[in-house]
Amino acid sequence: MAMTSRTRFPDISSRAWAHPADAAALAAFSRLPGAREILGRLLGSTTERSLRLSTLGGGARVSDSQFPQVHRLVVEAASILGLSPLPEVYVRLGVLPEASTVGIERPFVILSSAALDFWAEDELLAVIGHELGHILSGHAAYKTLLALVAKAQAFLGDSLLGAAAIAGLTSALREWDRKSELSADRAGLLAVQDPQAVYRALMKSAGGPRAAEMDLNEFFRQARDYDAASEGLDSLLKLLDVLGDSHPFPGVRMVALQEWERGGSYEKILHGDYPRRSEDDPESQADPAFKAARESYAQDFASSQDPLAKAAGAVMDALGTILGGGPGKGRAEGSKPEGDQANPGHTSGPGPSVEDLLDDLFRKR
């Protein structure tokens, strides 16, 4: 791959690829008084140092003389996305193809050794661009926090109140975490500038490395079938499937990325029409971010063939309680459980509108 074959995006802001719900969550975090200081105290400098030392001792640091192909791809992706200084990247022994970004002040990337053989070079560039997108978007600190909170959950089994509070925080963070992956997928596409490469990487994440025996068109049809599945408990089962996951399913990510690619935003960025980092102003952008997130969720409910919005009402109820909204805040207008068994004892009239629901979700903090 020639280093000069792809368009660079000088001064590009992460707003260019941010999923609306991801952007709103980060805006909410940033507007909390002393958010950065609070996060620093929760995680602490010792936490980042421990993570870095563990990786330094247990992995292999990528450089121009160690895993030089990977190093070249990191330099390429960083140049395209305007990330400087170059983050540290490590390869660690692992049988599954994985990539992650951790850290707070100086985030770094970890690739499993299996990832290097699993993804072709252009696919690996997209994966690396995805991880650099997390760094540029400010995701790394909150992903690190989520990992630590999830660990804390294991120590609170005997404390019902403590466990419930941690479970609520974990669920809210995981919902943001899944949306952050949709943002990073867009950054990965901007890095490789070949949609087919990203789609192949995601397809292989589902079906394994034998891409010659798979077909992208068929996999997209499969993803649409998943979206449309609506019999009986399908919606609830799909919701339960992802509650504990950090990533949406590969098919879901492919469809979301294709919609963004074909929606015009990707093409505009390629032609130099994108927000600049030098113009970023978190305070002035927070309210539009909340509005965009509400609209995004409302559109998700309306456009999907899957009646998942009905099942999602239960999750929104729980989030409404966590955020101080109380039970019943989470049900979108016109969506109600089917039959008495779906919500025994529920006797209230029509719930709040989707806009009211999402206003509660993203403004109460």
Q: What is the pLDDT of residues 134-156, one digit of tens each?
A: 999 988 888 877 776 666 666 55
pLDDT band at 233 (very low <50, low <70, confident <90, very high): low
Does this model's pTM top 0.85? My answer is: no
Mean pLDDT over the full length of the chain: 75
Provide the angle, in degrees to the nearest 10, between the axes of the packed helices 216-228 and 195-207.
70
Task: Kindly state whether residue 184 falls inside one of the protein's structural domains.
Answer: yes
How far is the C-alpha of 123 from the C-alpha of 358, rounded, in Å? 36
Q: Count structural domains, the chain.
A: 1
Strands 60-61 and 89-92 turn out to be antiparallel
Task: Kindly state whether residue 79 falls inside one of the protein's structural domains.
Answer: yes
Buried b / exposed e over 141-161, threshold 16 CB at 10 Å, is: bbbbbbbebbeebeeeeeeee
Task: Kindly state whether residue 309 falls inside one of the protein's structural domains.
Answer: no
Nearest by Cα to 142 from 52, 46, 43: 43
**Which residues have C-beta within 8 Å of that of residue 56, sequence separation ≥ 6?**
90
E strands, the chain, are 60-61, 89-92, 99-102, 108-112
How far is the C-alpha of 141 from the C-alpha of 364, rounded, in Å? 22
Task: Kindly state whether residue 286 falls inside one of the protein's structural domains.
Answer: no
Which range marks the domain in which residue 120 is found?
14-229+247-281
Give the pLDDT confidence of 302-338 residue by residue, as tens digits.
444 444 444 344 444 443 443 334 444 333 333 333 3
Task: Kindly state whether residue 222 falls inside one of the protein's structural domains.
Answer: yes
- Side-chain half-sphere exposure of 60, counting CA atoms within 13 A: 16
Average pLDDT over residues 123-143: 93
Task: Kindly state whether residue 103 falls inside one of the protein's structural domains.
Answer: yes
Task: Kindly state whether residue 322 falls inside one of the protein's structural domains.
Answer: no
Task: Kindly state whether residue 352 falls inside one of the protein's structural domains.
Answer: no
The tokens 């006797």 sit on which residue? 347
